[in-house]
Chains A and B, each alone.
Chain A
Amino acid sequence: MVIKGIAASNGYAIAKIFKIETLALNVTEEKITSYEDEKLRFQTAHQKSIAELQIIRDKAILSLGEEHGAIFEAHLQMIEDPELLGGIYSMMENDLVNAAHALQTVSDSFIAIFESMDNEYMKERAADIKDIRKRLLCHLLDVKMNDVTLIDEPVVIVAEDITPSETAQLNREFVKGFATNIGGRTSHSAIMARSLEIPAVVGLKTVLEKSNHGDHVILDGISGEIYFNPSKEMITTYEQKLVKYNENKLLLQRYLDKKSVTLDGHQVEMSANIGTPDDVDGIITNGGEGVGLYRTEFLYMGRSNFPTEEEQFIAYKTVLERMNPKPIVIRTLDIGGDKELSYLDMPEEMNPFLGYRAIRLCLDRKEIFVTQLRALLRASVHGQLKIMFPMIATINEFLDAKSILLETKEALIKEGIEVSEDIEVGMMVEIPAAAILADQFAKHVDFFSIGTNDLIQYTFAADRMNETVSYLYQPYNPSLLRLIKMVIDAAHKKGKWAGMCGEMAGDHIAIPLLLGLGLDEFSMSATSILSARALMSKMDIEKLKPLAEKALDMSHNDEVMNLVNDYLEEIK
């Protein structure tokens, strides 16, 4: 059986299915005859749970750092809590009921206390109790719990969806791929998969229902297909594909230390999009010439309070230092839309993508913004920092953001803290209003970076999370190309540079067009850099300019696609 979804991260996986699903744990109240026996049963389950949590904690510390390990340290403490255990034992002894029921009842009372608190942080602790309860119940009821962190053989993860923090816990040695029911090419799970270099297919709709835990599966991250229980021939075919894919990857290594340059000598910069300081390794192994987009929101996600200035400073400094003297474009907090913070109370909106997010929120909640700017400015002396503001729609927004930056800088200097004098300040172009007025913006900014995922969604008025309108994701539509041209031309007229940090910058059909339009910097998933550079090395800029001109004059997305495909066929 085969099903097809959206190819989200390149590569092939041949492995066993590992299902992550919500377990049905039915707890009933039962009378027991011997308290001592039941206590012993509980203690056995308790010991097993503790042993598992210790393994998970150690793994989390190893792969994610002390910070994440501390979450499981807290779980360990909770599972041995005297109030919890005391409550369970006394209920079993006094009411002569089974351990599972006592555990359920006692933990429910703690969960109720936490959930009733008017504090997001405490509400999340209720989730922690549920977490440890689930683990204990699985052992008491003898239900096998599918725990990602305990995987110790090659698998393909199958789930409804995978959150960024879950993705981060996946062990790259054993997790060969993942397949999910929901999501698209630009959802966070897909972006994370590409940065971890794990093949992935998303938006499969029914993959979870159709999978059996432990069955064999082939995942094709290029065609977006999933084959259940494949035949021997099928496996052989894919084993060959996998070998070829790895060979090709090896071939690309030639471009590792090369410049990003066309046959006729036109040079650009190819950099990487990153989310955490750990991603720097990927840039180095993939020959990135800098960071074109550091998404700082990951620092704020998957935790229960704002990161402190010091925590942020350390993260920024690490990236700047390790990449020095290469340029690092750090984008200030872009939260809102599909990215929420549990500890930041945000009103529910009809259209979150058009609402209170990114720079709009930062200009309103100045204290959040200033903390980040202080950390950035302090880190600036450790490398080549460029600061970029997201979601700018008007000139005033940019000027306001910049003046807060300058005020913050003054304040730091007064405190005697050293700040680099040489920081470029630019903006994302993702709102059509900014693209259209790019000539005016160019007077104030040091650079533009075009964010294509959002620019496409706002230009076509099509929610990128809504699969029913996904046909409107038209990156080659001449309407979009014209907006991009306006931005690049406006920058060049004022002697500034223009880059792109969306998915489109690494796309092999878009690259010839963008080169022809004069784009200066291409920032993409690190893993796309070498093949983009290889592609570029086969092209002549003098042929790409007329190609782009021709595309601007067309009417349809598909027309442009065919034009470029013909050209690519020619240079093959």
Chain B
Amino acid sequence: MKVIEMKIIDPAGLHARPASLLVKEASKFKSDVELESGEKKTTLKSILGIMSLGVKADADIKIYIDGEDENVAEESIAKFLVDNNLAV
């Protein structure tokens, strides 16, 4: 299991366009990918799940990746968040 810990910096939070790209990214991998923010947790492969969390700017997030391709998944999801100025 891999864990990514980051802070959201996009002023609009994790909103639909980036969130939807993030779901696409996470869905590429066989591993289970889960997003945790505050007390709530959801699969990162669900756009509705992510948006239900309503992750705002400055929020701390944790992403848990568990499965056979967790190493590649960890690297590319973290890179995606940074490249799109979503989180640091």
Chain A positions within 8 Å of B, measured between CB atoms, are 70, 73-74, 77-78, 81-84, 110, 113-114, 117, 119, 121-122, 125, 129, 304-305
* Residues in A whose Cβ lies below 8 Å from that of B47: 74, 77-78, 81
Q: Is the CB of A78 within 8 A of B54?
A: no
Interfacial chain A residues near B46, Cβ < 8 Å: 81-84
A167, B23: Cα distance in complex, Å: 31
Give CA–CA (A119, B43) in the complex, Å: 22
Q: How far, in angstroms, from A78 to B24 measured CA to CA in the complex?
A: 11
Determine the distance from Cα of A500 to Cα of B47 in the docked complex, in whole angstroms: 48
B16 touches A83 (CB 8 A): no
The answer to whether B54 touches A83 (Cβ under 8 A) is no
Residues of B within 8 A of A304 (CB): 15-16
In the docked arrangement, what's the CA distance between A305 and B11, Å?
A: 11
Say yes or no: A74 contacts B20, CB within 8 Å. Answer: yes
Q: Does B4 contact A (CB under 8 A)?
A: no
Interface residues of B in 11-57 (CB under 8 A from A): 12, 15-17, 20, 23-24, 42-43, 45-49, 51-52, 54
Binding site for A on B (CB under 8 A): 12, 15-17, 20, 23-24, 42-43, 45-49, 51-52, 54
* Cβ-defined contact, B43 with A77, below 8 A: no
Q: Are B12 and A122 in contact, CB atoms less than 8 angstroms apart?
A: no
Contacts of A78 in B (CB 8 A): 47-48
Contacts of B51 in A (CB 8 A): 114, 122, 125
Smallest CB gap from A76: residue in B: B20
A129 contacts across to B, CB distance below 8 A:
48
Counted as pairs of residues, one from A and one from B, with CB atoms less than 8 Å apart, the total is: 46
B43/A110 in contact, CB under 8 A: no
Complex Cα distance A81/B17, Å? Answer: 15
Please tell me if the beta carbons of B20 and A83 are within 8 angstroms of each other in the complex: no
* Cβ contact within 8 Å between B52 and A121: no
Q: Report A341 CB to chain B, min CB distance, Å.
A: 14
Inside 8 A of B52's CB, which chain A residues have their CB? 110, 113-114
Q: Which 7 A-B pairs have the closest CB atoms?
A: A83-B46, A83-B49, A81-B48, A113-B52, A74-B20, A77-B47, A83-B48
> What is the minimal beta-carbon distance from B15 to any residue of chain A, in angstroms?
6
Does B24 contact A77, Cβ atoms closer than 8 Å? yes
Q: Distance (Å) between the CB of B19 and the closest chain A CB?
A: 9
Q: From B46, which residue of chain A is reached at the shortest CB distance?
A: A83
Q: List 20 A-B contacts (CB under 8 A).
A: A70-B17, A74-B16, A74-B20, A74-B47, A77-B23, A77-B24, A81-B46, A81-B47, A82-B45, A83-B43, A83-B46, A83-B48, A84-B46, A84-B48, A110-B52, A121-B12, A122-B51, A304-B15, A304-B16, A305-B15
Q: In whole angstroms, what is the CA distance A129 to B46 when docked?
A: 13
| Most A Cβ at <10 Å: residue of B16, B23, B48 | B48
**In whole angstroms, how far apart are the Cα atoms of A148 and B70 in the complex?**
44
CA distance A213 to B15 in the complex (A): 39
The docked-state distance in angstroms from the alpha carbon of A122 to that of B43 is 19
Please report the C-alpha to C-alpha distance between residue A383 and residue B49 in the assembled complex, in whole angstroms: 47
Looking at the assembled complex, report how far the CB atom of A266 sits from the nearest CB atom of chain B, in whole angstroms: 52
Given A77-B24, A82-B43, A83-B42, are A121 and B48 also a contact pair (CB < 8 Å)? no
Contact B12 A125 (CB under 8 A): no
A10 to B11, CA, bound (A): 45
Q: Apart from A77-B47, A82-B45, what are 15 other A-B pairs with CB-CB below 8 Å?
A: A73-B20, A74-B16, A74-B20, A74-B47, A77-B23, A81-B46, A81-B49, A82-B49, A83-B42, A84-B48, A114-B51, A117-B54, A125-B16, A305-B12, A305-B15
User: Complex Cα distance A110/B47, Å?
Assistant: 11
A122 to B42 CA separation, bound complex (whole angstroms): 17
A124 — nearest CB in chain B belongs to which residue? B16
Q: Are B49 and A77 in contact (CB under 8 A)?
A: no
Known: A110-B52, A119-B54, A122-B51. A74 touches B24 (CB 8 A): no
How far is the CB of A57 from the nearest CB of chain B, in Å? Answer: 13
CB pair B17–A74 under 8 Å, yes or no, is: yes
Which single residue of chain A is at the shortest CB-CB distance from B24? A77
CA distance A74 to B23 in the complex (A): 10
Closest to A78 in B: B47
Measured between beta carbons, the chain B residues less than 8 angstroms from A122 are: 51, 54
In the assembled complex, how far is the CB of residue B26 from the closest CB belonging to chain A, in whole angstroms? 11
Q: Which residues of B contact A83 (CB under 8 A)?
A: 42-43, 46, 48-49
Minimum C-beta distance from B78 to chain A (A)? 21
Instruction: Evaluate whether A121 and B45 lie within 8 angstroms (CB atoms) in the complex, with A77-B23, A110-B52 already known.
Output: no
In the complex, the chain A residue whose C-beta lies closest to that of B16 is A74
Q: How far is the CA of A304 from the CA of B19 in the complex (A)?
A: 14
What's the Cα separation between A60 and B48 when bound, in Å?
23
The CA of A129 and the CA of B16, in the complex, are separated in Å by 12
On chain A, the residues within 8 Å of B42 by CB distance are 83
Complex CA–CA separation, A121 to B48 (angstroms)? 14
Return chain B residues, CB-CB under 8 Å to A82.
43, 45-46, 49
Closest approach, in angstroms, between the C-beta of B17 and any C-beta of chain A?
Answer: 6
The answer for the CA separation of A125 and B12 in the assembled complex, in Å, is: 14
B17 with A121: CB separation less than 8 A: no
Tell me the complex Cα distance, A110–B54, Å.
Answer: 12
Q: How far is the CB of B82 from chain A (nearest CB, A)?
A: 19
- Minimum CB–CB distance for A423 against chain B, Å: 30
Instruction: Tell me which of A77, A110, A113 has the highest count of chain B C-beta atoms within 10 A of its own C-beta.
Output: A77
- Nearest-neighbor residue (CB-CB) of A83 within chain B: B46
Q: Report the minimal beta-carbon distance from A132 to chain B, rounded to whole angstroms.
A: 10
Q: Which residue of A lies closest to B11 (CB)?
A: A305
Contacts of A110 in B (CB 8 A): 48, 52
Measured CA separation A121–B55 after assembly (Å): 12
Which residues of chain B are within 8 angstroms of A114 by Cβ–Cβ distance? 51-52
A310 to chain B, nearest CB (A): 13
Residues of A within 8 A of B12 (CB): 121, 305
Give the residue of B16, B23, B24, B49 whose beta carbon is less than 8 angstroms from that of A121: B16
Q: How far is the CA of A113 from the CA of B43 in the complex (A)?
A: 17
Q: Which residue of A lies closest to B12 (CB)?
A: A305
